[in-house]
Amino acid sequence: MKRILYLGWLGFNNIGDELMWEIFNDLCSEYLDLSKYEIIPSNFCVNIKDTAQYDIIILGGGSLFLPGFIEILHECIKQGKQVLIWGSGYDWADKSYIKIIEDAKIPSYLFNDNTEMLLINLVNKVSYIGVRGPLTYALLKSVNVNINKVEISGDPGLLIKSKIIPDFSPVLEWKDNEKIIGINWGTSENRIYGQNESDLEDQLACTCKTLLKQGYKIYMFVLWGRDVEASKRLYNKIDCYTDIILDTNIYAGGELLSILKQFSFSINFKLHANVLSTVAEIPFVCLAYRFKCFDYVKSLDLEDLIVATDSNSIQQDILKTIAYIVSNEVMIKQKLVSYMSLYKQRLMTPFLNSLIK
């Protein structure tokens, strides 16, 4: 029996990372003969540096293009193991690097020389490499990897399937209402562009008050437990207890997807709230707090939906983006559907083409 190790940021009950693992595991159940394969997620009890017992290594979705993971994958290649990169991306770069990477006129130097050499060798040997978005793709191209082997696959979360909304979900109270805005808020411990989470929260609260006055209802949702406290704080700052629901339940990804389908559009802090909005085929305002947010939204060719968190006019920017969404809803939804179809096909490549051997 061959053993497959799935590398991801697992064990923290973050819906985004957990749902990508669940999607991969479900696809393995559907396309692989499980009498011949065992699939192991990299949770707390797994020493990811000790890969001797595994035959196949999958670098899964998330922002995992980091020196540590690259070293692990390169060592696996040296040992003759099969390696696939499935929708992973880069993060943690200063916002100024986005233009540098896109212009491709000077090196970004985001990786040191040793990591760049490992990447070049790694890309040559992997069985498949799909990356989250065009910024990760351009970064790899700048390192001079064999870019012909790399494709933009989109985020693996795009393969999520709907599940029935649980009976306890308060969204069911508003099911037939057409003017619901989903609001996802949380915290990244101030590790955001602008380093201004508190001010951003204040501006978002003011924006929500304006939207309530415009006749919208607001449904606040979270992606993991650590975001509940911040969401409660935002709810209290909005200080309006009609036409607003704070839902602190932690749902399965498919359940949350079905909830998002009830909304007209969403305003999202966490990346996978945008991914779920994409699958729900609803427009969204992306509060782009790090590199990965730009990477994802650019993969959909919808940069007009980005509101950078280092902006000095957050409230105005959000309202302007909402006006853009209202005026261009049909075009936005067409792009969501088109790119989602493309990326779903690419994310299925390792399974449909039997690349996991």
- Residue ranges of domains in the chain, CATH in brackets: 2-160+342-352 (3.40.50), 170-339 (3.40.50.2000)
**pTM of the predicted structure, to 2 decimals:** 0.97
pLDDT 10s digits, 176-232: 777 999 999 999 999 999 999 999 999 999 999 999 999 999 999 999 999 999 999
Contact 245, 156 (CB under 8 A): no
Buried b / exposed e along 73-83 (16+ C-beta atoms within 10 A): bbebbeeebbb
Helix (H) or strand (E) holding 29: helix 15-31
Residue pLDDT, tens place only, 252-291: 999 999 999 999 999 999 999 999 999 999 999 999 999 9
Q: Reduced to 3 DSSP states, what percent helix, strand and coil does the chain have, rounded to the nearest 5?
A: 45, 15, 35
Please give the average per-residue pLDDT across 22-42, as a whole number. 97
Res. 324 pLDDT band, cuts 50 70 90: very high
Task: Note the maximum CA span of the chain.
Answer: 62
Share of the chain above pLDDT 90, in %: 94
